[in-house]
């Protein structure tokens, strides 16, 4: 087993690589949730009713 140093290095780095992948998946899912929240806010229609006084009606 002279040439197993590459395999040993990969096995030693596997926990670090796994944590990096989990972090990337978490960030992606968080971004999707945030986009859904923003889309729900953008879908709301707000109607403002303006009171018109008789003075404004007469001036027009």
Q: What is the mean pLDDT of residues 30-54?
A: 77
Confidence of residue 29 (pLDDT cuts 50, 70, 90): very high
Residue at token pair 């859904």 = 36
At 55, the pLDDT band (50, 70, 90 cuts) reads low
Mean pLDDT of the chain: 82
Of the CA atoms within 13 Å of residue 30, those in its CB half-sphere come to 6
SS3 (DSSP) at 57:
helix
pTM of the complete model: 0.56
Helices (H), the chain: 5-43, 54-59
């Amino acid at each position: 087993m002279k040439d197993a140093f590459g395999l040993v290095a990969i096995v030693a780095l596997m926990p670090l690589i796994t944590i990096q992948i989990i972090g990337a998946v978490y960030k992606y899912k968080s971004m999707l949730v945030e986009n859904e929240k923003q889309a729900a806010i953008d879908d709301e229609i707000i109607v403002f009713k303006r009171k018109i006084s008789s003075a404004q009606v007469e001036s027009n």
